[in-house]
Structure 1
Amino acid sequence: MIKEGELVGRLHTRETAVKMGEKPTGNARALNYNHPPICRMRTTCIAQGNTNLEDMIKDIDLGVYALDAYGGQTNGEMFTFKAGEAYMIRNGQVEEMVRDVNLTGNVFETLNNISAISNDLRIKDSGGGCGKGGQGPLPTSQGSPSVRVENVIIGGKSDG
């Protein structure tokens, strides 16, 4: 959908494609036969970059390294999700674990604030899924390398 920072396509059902004058992409999904198919993602991935994690974080004086996600949602352009694990980054090193870390913000501002993408791509089939339109959880997968984001809003408390 996005390639080198540019929007190159959209997810469509046959219905949404006609409304926008574009080609269908086969993205109509439903939880089961009791629900109408609606446009939604299946597997969401970010392509890996060409740097390793150590080089990506070596100049971060103070930051948070968040891994995985447990729950999350979007509302228009806004998002929020809870990190599965999180660690403090101090002087370029991953240090102590912290808990209850939530990330939130505007999707487009956050994408614009990506400053590095590592080469450690991981794909995860999750036990959860998409709950769009009250149809949940519809199984989904996601994949991402480590991504460095400047100026993201992080909330939570330390473990200790």
Structure 2
Amino acid sequence: MIMARAMGGLLVLCAMVSACSDGSESQTEQVAPATKPAAIAASDVTTLDGTAIASFTGNAENGKAVFAQCRACHATDAGVNMSGPSLHNIIGRMSGTVPGYNYSAANAGAKFVWTKEKLFQHLEKPQRVIPGTKMMFSGIQDAQKRADVIAYLETPS
């Protein structure tokens, strides 16, 4: 008796599903494979919030405090790589070139010079500037804080 009820319920369920069908063979939707966003051109330093570093005066002391969140992965000492590369003398350095650091393919292939403007853009949303980076940091939304971190990185102490 229980088996008959189970079979009856299964037949009702099948009927309901087929009533919802458009008669096509497959009910699975075709989904396009996700594409990795294109990297921003090396010369492009536009930010999502429309700000530019030239509009800010960075404060290194404040930047040191903001950089505390970066210290989990980065050092400012030369030759000290952690889960992220050393940021010693980052301004003016070619991306993906710190000796002894194992960069992601995306970062190693980025091929731009870290200017203050590019770093300002990158700190806002790293994955936008280098799609596919292994850096998991979501960014610093406050433009003044980004300018402060850059001021600190220019002369960390």
Give the TM-score, by structure 1 length. 0.22
**Per chain length, whose mean CA-contact separation is higher, i.e. which structure has more relative contact order (CA < 8 Å, sep 6+)?**
2
Give the structure with the higher percent helix: 2
Give the TM-score, by structure 2 length. 0.22
Which has the higher Rg, Structure 1 or Structure 2? 2
Give the structure with the higher percent strand: 1
